[in-house]
Each structure stands twice: as structure tokens, then as C-alpha cells.
Amino acid sequence: MKSVRIPLLFSLVILLGCSSGKPDLDFGEVRGTVLLQGTPLPHATVRFQPSSGRPSYGKTNEAGEFTLKFMGREWGALVGDHQVAITTEDRIEDPTTGEARWQKEILPAKYNTETTLTATVEPGDNVFQFELEEMKKGARR
């Protein structure tokens, strides 16, 4: 029985090692920009939620630019229609000091928890720009 287990185990290791782990789904590469009142919105989380399936996430840089990842990988987002949510509420760590601070939500619910934003992801390269006009009452940048 030992001789059967070793080749079987070896075959499994080879198969798993050669697999990219990418699900057999249709993806589109997604990148874009988030502007708030005409200026880039840094440190915001962008979520594309398809009607069924897992969401994709991205984080805006200082220029308000993001690239979506699916399950933490560079696969983009599932092809199809998505609800888009953008939030600024997050734990931010300073890369130079390592100190963390809590960033409060400055965007109204219509951009996140009650989002009205949508996008359609096509196969290939997708570029979106979200121009947000409002901040939460009393919020400051």
C-alpha cells in the first residue's frame, strides 16, 4: 500500500504546484481614479460587488488611483454588472514610522453602505473614474 500512496502524493504535489489557483471565471482588469470634489481621494477602499460571487477590492493611492484585486490577487474583477462602494473609514499605518491611526468616514452613505454607484466590467482592460461630489455633513479632509 505504501508504494501507491507515494506516487499519488507526488502527483498531487506536482498538480498543485503547477496550478495558478485562479478560479475558472471570467475576469476583467480594473483600474481607475476616485475624485472628491475635483481632487484625488487618497486612502479610500473601492469595492466592486457583483450580483453573485465574491467582490474585488482596491485601495487608492495619493493620486486617487486604484487597481482591483480578486481574493488578494491581480485578477481584477468578475465580468458583469457591479455595485461599487467607496469608503474612507480604515486603519491607516504610516509606512515610515509604523504608527497606526483610525481614519473616519468622510463620505455619505450613498457612496458606501447605501451605494448608488455602479459599473460594468468587460473582458480585458477596464478604466473607471468616480467623481464624488459630497462629503458627510461636518466631515473634513
pLDDT of residue 95: 83
pLDDT of residue 20: 56
Say whether 27 sits in a helix, a strand or coil: strand
**Partners of 40 in beta bridges:** 35
Give helix then strand counts, H and E, for the chain: 1, 12
Q: Shortest CA distance to 58 belongs to which of 86, 20, 93, 90?
A: 86
Find the radius of gyration of the CA atoms of the chain.
Answer: 20
* CATH of span 25-132: 2.60.40.10
Ranges of the chain whose pLDDT falls below 50? 1-4, 6-19
Degrees, nearest 5: CA angle 112-117-122? 125
Domain boundaries of the chain, sorted by first residue: 25-132
Is the whole-model pTM more than 0.85? no
